[in-house]
Structure 1
Amino acid sequence: MAEEKKGQFPSSLKEARQHGSFSFPCAFYQAVPETNPPGFPFTVKHHWHEPVEIIYLEQDSYQVDINMTLTHLKSPCFCFINSGELHALTSDSEQYQEQAVVFSPDLLTFAAPDPAQEQFLLPLSEHKLSFPSFLGSEHPAFSEVQQEFFRIRSIFSRENRSCLDQFTIESPVSQLRIKAALLSILGILAEYDLLTLNDPVHNPRVELLKTVISYIRQNYQRPLSLGELAALAGMNEQYFCRFFKKALGKTPISYINDFRIRHAATLLCTTELPVTEVCLESGFNNLGHFMKEFKKATQFTPLQFRRQSMVETFPDNKHSL
């Protein structure tokens, strides 16, 4: 942690996933209900990444948190995540339809300099220019951006018919068309004066929150006390609770329990580990407490939840369970 540069997010929150390939750092994603534990809304936990992300919320409504600012969005809507922004997203129900294209800004630059490169492409690549956080359907630019996004989605879909999550592109012709569509989106936003210079102001509260979340993610499998987290933040317990709840909408203990329960739900859906091992792997050291918290969150016991996930994943086998 000591080697992190000032203003950067903790590396443990940095997404390790490769978006696209080294030669074409661009990928398309879609939220797939089959990979989400049944009974839970679609959730993307707090994290950050260097590439820019354009999220299209096609159905449902969502809570989006960007750098400690929580916004409620109704679809259809675009959400833009700039390089290095700490962000999280949760749907309000299980009826979500969410898609995203993630790309490196370097992908759009050219070898030969020109005014567009100097004014837009290089500043974007150098993190000096930002996309707007949101673009709703009421804005005149929305339909134009939507058309280009659909073009990108169509190109990725044609070459990834069997992929459920990450779509990548290998065809140079398709890559060229995707770059053209991304440049067109950038041009549309510039035409409507929606691109902004980055605010250089350092927010210590955001940095503090990143440190605490990073610590929870690294240590959730062992007991964590409120006093321990408050000391990490340099606050007394009462003030820390107010700070954390205001930032994330839940108390530190509720956040830790939610993180552990979601980890347990994933293990129940994707492994055959006994419930006792799931309990311990998820950071609960008491089986009775785990069973109580799990049923409170999901309305199911762990075994019922596992059976239910099998029914929803393999509906043709539901009569044999």
Structure 2
Amino acid sequence: MKLFDYKEEKQHGRLDFPIEFYHVDENHPRYDMPYHWHTECEIIRILRGEFLITINEEKILAKEGDIIFIHDGVLHGGTPNDCIYECIVFDIKLLLKQNHVCTKMLQDIIHHNKLINMKLPRDLRILNLNAEFLFDALGSRYNGYEFITQGSLYNFLGIILQNELFTINNRISKKTQEKMMLFKKVLSLIEDNYSETITLDDLSKVAGMTPKYFCKFFQSMSNKTPIEYLNLYRIESACEQLLSTDLPITNVAMNCGFNDVSYFIKTFKRCKGITPKQYIKHIALSH
């Protein structure tokens, strides 16, 4: 599904090299991946632990050694468990430049005529070796890494086509589209208003459902209750503020929609395993 409104407003990489690398562990402020989409493709590699990721409506449990591919315009998010993972977000159109031989095959992927399998086989040695080159190049940024990166992306796609690790797109059903659009509306409300008071009634009204039915719907889409997801989103936003500002913890709590500081600290500890003060100290020591 393409072009949701719930878009991540962020440039990945440079204008002349639209590829970005992210290394994510428990210390990362966005360790839990909020649901979002972007106009670039994404490759996720699990280095340790597990990651339950939802891509549109499909839930995938990715484990150490797994590689996940996400097409542009696809809603995704999830919950890691004792996990370290790396992401590469890239504009696939970069590979079209001055390339006439591969243009038709790339256009099939760009236009979603061919959908690359979301979970790629962990036992395909050539694919894993290529992923090593790709992630190492972007993670290290040694001289000439741009050549290695683009070459590895061509190789990555070539291996996928060679081994037919894709399906022919028959388009998403109208019912699925409607469910995703409703889910997207709720996510947009949370993103835009998480610093304010948001009730279960507010969320269910946006989806046009009763609170009881809405809770079942939301949990089926995200594996979390609406309030669990809202609080987690607020805590992840608080982590960013704790690391990027000198604001007192009380102010950060208020900025992220918590009117009760003690409840904020309790929720923070439940989500992160430590208090906000311990979190700041832990991050400072780890750097």
Relative to the length of structure 1, the TM-score reads: 0.79
Aligned counterpart, 1:196: 167
In 1, Cα distance between equivalents of 2:212 and 2:22? 40
- The percent identity for this pair of structures is 28
Query: Shift of the alpha carbon at 1:209?
Result: 0.4
> Partners of 2:254 and 2:19 in 1: how far apart?
38
Q: CA deviation at 1:244?
A: 0.8
Superposed CA RMSD in Å reads: 2.5
| In structure 2, C-alpha distance between the alignment counterparts of 1:282 and 1:296, rounded to whole Å | 16
Matched-pair contact (CA < 8 Å) for 1:269–1:306: no
Aligned to 2:132: 150
**Which structure: larger Rg?**
1
CA deviation string 1:144-166 (max 9, x = no partner): 11111211233334436xxxxxx
- Number of aligned residue pairs: give it: 284
Counterpart of 2:38 in structure 1 is: 49
**Aligned counterparts, 1:90-169, within 5 A:** 90-93=79-82, 96-111=83-98, 113-114=100-101, 116-118=102-104, 120-138=105-123, 142-159=124-141
8 A contact 1:269–1:310 mirrored in 2? no
In the alignment, does 2:238 pair up with 1:264? Answer: yes
In structure 2, how many angstroms separate the alpha carbons of the residues matched to 1:241 and 1:315?
Answer: 38
Structure 1 residue ranges without an equivalent (≥5): 1-5, 161-170, 317-321
State how far apart, in whole Å, the 2-side matches of 1:236 and 1:71 are: 28
String of CA shifts for 1:259-280, please: whole Å, max 9, x gaps. Answer: 2223223333443322321221
Contact residue 268 and residue 306 of structure 1 kept, 8 A: no
- C-alpha change, 1:182 and 1:294, in structure 2 (3 Å) is closer
2:222 to 248, 258, 261: 248
Mapped contact 1:7–1:207 kept (Cα < 8 A): no
| Deviation at residue 16 of structure 1 after TM alignment | 2.1
Counterpart AA for 1:44: M
1:32, distance to aligned residue in structure 2 (A): 4.9
Q: Distance between the aligned counterparts of 2:88 and 2:279, measured in 1? A: 32
Q: Describe the shift of the 1:313–1:50 C-alpha distance in structure 2 as closer, same or farther (beyond 3 A).
A: same
CA distance in 2, matches of 1:300, 1:157: 29
Counterpart residue number, 2:77:
88
- The CA deviation string for residues 116-137 of structure 1, in whole angstroms up to 9 with x for no partner, is 432x112223333322100132
Change (3 A) 1:79 1:151: same
Secondary structure, in 3 states, of the residue corresponding to 2:232?
helix
Are 1:19 and 2:12 counterparts? yes
Q: Which amino acid aligns with 1:50?
A: T
- Kindly state the Cα deviation for residue 195 of structure 1 after the two structures are TM-superposed: 2.2
Where in structure 1 do 4 or more consecutive aligned residues deviate above 4 Å? Answer: 298-301
Give per-residue Cα distances to partners, 1:288-307, cap 9 Å, x unaligned.
43344334444544xxx324
Contact 1:261/1:294 (8 A) holds in 2: yes
Change in 2 beyond 3 A, CA 1:307/1:294? closer
Unaligned runs of 5+ in 2: none
